[in-house]
Amino acid sequence: MGEGPPEVQGARPRDPGVLPVGCLTGAVNLKSSNRTPVVQEFESVELSCIITDSQTTDPRIEWKKIQDDQTTYVFFDNRIQGDLAGRAELLGKTSLRIWNVTRTDSALYRCEVVARNDRKEIDEIVIELTVQVKPVSPVCRVPKAVPVGKTATLHCQESEGYPRPHYSWYRNDVPLPTDSRANPRFRNSSFLLNSETGTLVFSAVHKEDSGQYYCIASNDAGSARCEEQQMEVYDLNVGGIVGGILVVLAVLALITVGICCAYRRGYFVNNKQNGESYKSPGKPDGVNYIRTDEEVRRGMRQQSRRHLGNLEIEVFPAEQVMAVLGQFVHTSGVRCAGSRRCPS
């Protein structure tokens, strides 16, 4: 008695990887009803961890969170710890329930059970939790006015949603395809829509592209849209541009003719004394001399005169030119400018 079963001579050696039936009796084993739960933000979720076999009545339970290559305790020493404190509880012996989940709860969670009285004392199971976040209203940028034939780019961006949202554009409440060439309805347009980045690019806008545009960002958690924005496509008014240039040239010509006529009528003639430069008389000794207005004006003219070789150029102050032009227009008016010939 007490001896084991006799060895069978010539029997094949036992494969260490294959265990006889009943050998795992008393070994702790875990399973989960859902290893990849998906939940929307601010809802509750259960992380399932179930002991199927164990001879230990009071095993040690631990939950750990693995995120960004860092491992932290969630349940240890029979209490909730870390960022789940106050919003999680243990269900039954081993499962974990989290209330009001947030996007930061997306991570790997490892359930570990240690059963000291079992032949296989330790088992663990990993659960991947995904928290989906509904997009917020995207930021849309639409050009207000674009000339016909020019390129135009519309932008749509949203940074809160998880998973990353896809984008769709609408014009006057009509959804736009990713390629205008693929839909006969948009044969008069030429655009490409990138649903991943949210950009809508017109290679050459047409009048039919005018309208109210808005973008919708959507993922599995929901969708959100931006406000409508008007894009106007206009024709280049070449005639108006040319007309404006001609008006400017005409105004410049009239000013030139006016200055010419005023000069011929003697408004800009410099009063000289026998061809010599004006020289103010000296002050008598001991007498405070006050210059007259005429002397002040002559002095200003003298200071504004310049010489270029043998050519004498006289520069008049802007106020004097405008005053002379005003007097000229008042006295002679359109007759001089219209005939382009002034009375001598």
What pLDDT, in 10s, does the model give residues 113-172? 999 888 888 999 999 999 999 999 999 999 999 999 999 999 999 999 999 999 999 999
Rounded-to-integer distance, Cα 199 and Cα 219, Å: 17
Kindly give the pairing relationship between strand 305-308 and strand 152-157: unpaired
Rounded-to-integer distance, Cα 111 and Cα 129, Å: 13
In CATH, the architecture of 29-132 is Sandwich (2.60)
CATH superfamily of 139-234: Immunoglobulins (2.60.40.10)
Dump strand ranges (E) for 102-221. Answer: 107-114, 122-132, 139-141, 145-147, 152-157, 166-171, 174-175, 191-194, 199-202, 211-219
Rounded-to-integer distance, Cα 298 and Cα 278, Å: 7
Decide which of 54 and 30 is more confident: 30
Q: Residues 56-82: what's their mean pLDDT?
A: 94
Residue spans of the domains in the chain: they are: 29-132, 139-234, 238-281+289-339
Q: Which pLDDT value is given to residue 94?
A: 94
Decide which of 122 and 267 is more confident: 122
Kindly give the pairing relationship between strand 229-234 and strand 145-147: parallel
Decide which of 117 and 341 is more confident: 117
Hey, what are 61's tokens? Answer: 């339970």
Q: Is the CB of residue 118 less than 8 Å from the CB of residue 26?
A: yes
Q: Residues 263-275: what's their mean pLDDT?
A: 60
Torsion sign, CA atoms 297, 315, 268, 252: negative
Q: What share of the chain is helix, strand, coil (3-state, %, to 5)?
A: 20, 35, 45
Is the pLDDT at 178 greater than 90? The verdict is yes
pTM exceeds 0.95 for this model:
no
DSSP assignment, residue 208?
G
Summary count for the chain: helices (H), strands (E): 4, 23
Q: How confident is the model at residue 272 (pLDDT cuts 50, 70, 90)?
A: very low
Rounded-to-integer distance, Cα 160 and Cα 134, Å: 8
Which 3 state secondary structure label does DSSP give 187? coil
Rounded-to-integer distance, Cα 218 and Cα 226, Å: 12
Which 3 state secondary structure label does DSSP give 205? coil
Hey, what are 226's tokens? Answer: 């931006």
Q: Which pLDDT value is given to residue 1?
A: 40
Q: Is the CB of residue 40 less than 8 Å from the CB of residue 134?
A: yes
CA distances from 294 to 248, 281, 291 (A): 37, 13, 8
Q: Is the CB of residue 51 less than 8 Å from the CB of residue 113?
A: yes
Q: Which pLDDT value is given to residue 254?
A: 83
Q: Mutual orientation of helices 238-264 and 318-331 as an angle, nearest 10°?
A: 90
Rounded-to-integer distance, Cα 58 and Cα 55, Å: 9
Q: Where are the alpha helices (DSSP H) in the chain?
A: 238-264, 293-304, 318-331, 334-339
Q: How confident is the model at residue 6 (pLDDT cuts 50, 70, 90)?
A: very low
Peptide bond before 59: cis, by omega within 30 degrees of 0?
no
Torsion sign, CA atoms 64, 65, 69, 72: negative
Over residues 221-249, the pLDDT tens digits come to 999 999 999 999 998 766 667 777 888 88
36: nearest Cα among 130, 124, 164 = 130
